[in-house]
Structure 1
């Protein structure tokens, strides 16, 4: 009896795992195609180093609708222009005279600190498109780039901080705190910049995942409804398959009274004998039928050949508006929120699978 529930659990977990992988795949394809992850990173760097966009607003949108609707399609791309060349061997000092800037009443000169940083990192960029595709900067590489900018200024860190303050860069405050915390020691300063940037990237990743979870929920809901995936009905199908296997075992052991039950399950258009019925049923387990109720179903001929696609619009809609299926839909949507890694871990625990290192 316990094996029945184990089979049920494994079947449900495997279905949730496959659907979660499909949701993650669609999301990853969308993110890579539109470069959302790299735009999110460079929008943060624009806010941190240059103080936002030209109109004074933040580069990172504050609403989920803007992150995945405005940021990917906006003409105002926060990423620097891509360069296939290696980083310049010599770092030019920042073209700013702090004394003149602070004494003058004219606007602060436009110094693109993000572009200056990119020129120290462009060697790790991918040769794709007109804009950079860097979506991840190692903390060690960032601190090294900052140290290269420091070495180009007269006065070292103090000289760089003075110029950053003069142009109104928010990075000045962050680096000043790190510099004072390092007690003006260059080695400690570099390590401090590395730790600061690592913490900022963790915070940024948390913010990004907070936005992405809503996209994953929307994709999971759309996939559940398009496939007509009723988790409760699927569980019943798994139990029926288990009972059918038990009936087959009874017939194999001489229990002819179970033969009538097998014939009732047979499709007369496929096979009329018990052997053909068993073969056909075992070749179409519950997992294979998981997509039978989708708006477009796929079927494989019993004798081989190319798969056929069938439009199930009318049947799918009737199923979608039937209240009896709604609890199963909601259960599937909730299950997909846990993600593929969670269901893979559950499947490993149920099956006793151990990863070989």
Structure 2
């Protein structure tokens, strides 16, 4: 009996893991297609180095702006350049001057920079290169203050703390930027969670995945396996109980058993989408419209608790379900991977 419950738990966790991975893949594809991660970073840098664009902040403040205004309005990212950093800067903004010091690690993407993550050490070194070009920290701070750059406040505080020590100033800038990136990452993830929730809801409804129904199907699979085992011991006569499950093979018990075992619970649950596919023994796959049955499932209140359970399960994300799956199956993680 325990093995039945273990099979049920593994089956549910595996389904949640696969669907969570699909949600994560769709989200990552959307982010890459729209360049949201890079635009989010450079919108923050524009705000921090150059100040808002007029009266409006570069960085979005709502989920609608993240996936509405940010991808399609004025791009905050600098233009891509494959040239090394110039000896004397020709940039007109501080964010463009920063990019001059970082563009050697860049690669082309739609004419704009593809840099979507800046290590704190690289940022600190870029600032030190700008300091050298300006003739010292005091001169740089004076220009930042004169240009009303929001970066003046943090750098001035770091310089006061360093008490004139350039190495301490560099480490202070690195530490400050590391904290800013952590804060920005938390803000970005807060927005992305809403997108993952929306994708999870869409995926749940498209596949009409009722977790409670799926659990019952797994238990049914176990019962069928037990019945097949009894059939093997009892001969052809004992197969009569399976015939109602495969009316296409009323006189061929072995074809009946094959058909039953080749359509496990997971195959059945993903077959509830508006468009389904069946792969016959011979010939090409057959696509069929399943819109009527799918719509019937959507309007049947009995399926709603299962849909809701699936939706909330997908919110936990693929890493959570992978950890649960690993614990249930006893899969070991190598020591090097566990420390990452």
Question: Shift of residue 213 of structure 1?
Answer: 0.4
Counterpart in the other structure of 2:217: 237
Asked if 1:56 corresponds to 2:55, the answer is yes
Asked if 1:277 corresponds to 2:256, the answer is yes
Distance in 2 (alpha carbons) for counterparts of 1:292 and 1:172: 59
Instruction: Structure 2: state its 5+ residue gaps.
Output: none
> Which portions of structure 1, spanning 4 or more consecutive aligned residues, are displaced by more than 6 angstroms?
none
Distance in 2 (alpha carbons) for counterparts of 1:317 and 1:2: 37
Asked if 1:259 corresponds to 2:275, the answer is no
Asked if 1:334 corresponds to 2:312, the answer is yes
Distance in 1 (alpha carbons) for counterparts of 2:189 and 2:238: 53
Alignment of 1:58-207 (within 5 A): 58-74=57-73, 76-88=74-86, 90-92=87-89, 111-154=92-135, 156-207=136-187
The alignment covers a number of residue pairs equal to 335
Deviations 1:42-93 (A, max 9, x none): 000000000111x22111111111111111111x1111111122222x1449
Query: Which stretch of structure 1 is more off in the superposition, 141-150 or 273-282?
Result: 273-282
Distance in 1 (alpha carbons) for counterparts of 2:284 and 2:23: 26
Distance in 2 (alpha carbons) for counterparts of 1:330 and 1:272: 42
TM-score between both structures, scaled by the size of structure 2: 0.95
Asked if 1:212 corresponds to 2:192, the answer is yes
CA root-mean-square deviation:
1.6
Distance in 1 (alpha carbons) for counterparts of 2:93 and 2:147: 10
Distance in 1 (alpha carbons) for counterparts of 2:169 and 2:251: 81
Question: Shift of residue 270 of structure 1?
Answer: 4.0
Per the alignment, in what secondary structure is the counterpart of residue 12 of structure 1? helix
Asked if 1:248 corresponds to 2:228, the answer is yes
- For the 8 Å contact 2:162–2:172, the answer to whether it is kept is yes
Question: Shift of residue 295 of structure 1?
Answer: 1.0
Name which of 307, 315, 320 aligns with 2:285. Answer: 307
Counterpart in the other structure of 1:20: 20
Distance in 2 (alpha carbons) for counterparts of 1:257 and 1:272: 12
